[in-house]
Structure 1
Amino acid sequence: MRASAIVATGLALLLGSASPMTRGCGYDGMAVDLTTAHPASLSVALAIHDAYQAKLLTKPIALQGGFGMRRAQIMLEKLRVALAPIAMGERFSLLLIEPGLWAHFDGTGAELRVTLHVAAPAADERVVITGEGVLLALVQGKLGADQALQAGLIQMQATLVQRERLTANWSQAFPPYSVVAR
Structure 2
Amino acid sequence: MRRHVYVTRLFLLSLAAAATLSPSASSACGYHDDVTMARGLLNWVYPDALHVLGSISAAIAAHRLPPPELAAPDLFGAKYGKTVRSLERLGRGLGATSGGMRGPSVSVVLIEPMLWARFESGESGSRTRVHVTGPEPGDVVLVSGEIVIGEIASGRLTIRKAHELGLIRLYGPAAQQARFLLAYEQVGRQPLPGTAVKAASSKPAVFTAPATATAEASSPPQLKISDNGGALACGPGHH
What's the TM-score once normalised by structure 1's chain length? 0.76
| Alpha-carbon shift at residue 103 of structure 1 (Å) | 0.7
Say if 2:158 and 2:186, in contact at 8 Å, map to a contact too: no
Change (3 A) 1:94 1:80: same
* Aligned-partner SS, 1:169: helix
The reply on whether 1:147 has 2:161 as its aligned counterpart is yes
Other structure's SS at 2:88 match = helix
Asked if 1:81 is matched to 2:105, the reply is no
Structure 2 counterparts to residues 108-147 of structure 1, below 5 A: 108=122, 110-121=124-135, 125-147=139-161
Secondary structure of 1:156's match?
Answer: strand
Is residue 36 of structure 2 the alignment partner of residue 25 of structure 1? Answer: no
* Amino acid in the other structure paired with 2:35: A
Deviation for aligned residue 1:52: 1.4
**Alignment deviations for residues 117-167 of structure 1 (CA, whole Å, 9 cap, x no partner):** 111226764201111111122222222222211111011111111101111
- Which structure has more RCO (C-alpha within 8 Å, separation ≥ 6)? 2
Q: What amino acid is aligned across from residue 27 of structure 1 in structure 2? A: Y
Bigger fraction of residues in helix: 1
Of 98, 117, 121, the residue aligned with 2:112 is 98
**Which blocks of at least 5 consecutive residues in structure 2 are unaligned?**
1-18, 191-203, 207-239
- Count of residue pairs brought into register by the alignment: 165
> Quick one: which of 61, 78, 94 aligns to 1:67?
78
Q: Distance in 2 between matches of 1:98 and 1:178?
A: 22
TM-score (norm 2): 0.59
In 2, the alpha carbon distance for the partners of 1:111 and 1:122 equals 18
User: Is the contact made by 1:26 and 1:101 (CA closer than 8 Å) also made in structure 2?
Assistant: yes
CA distance in 2, matches of 1:82, 1:15: 40
Structure 1 segments unaligned to the other structure (5+ residues)? 1-12
Q: CA RMSD in A?
A: 3.0
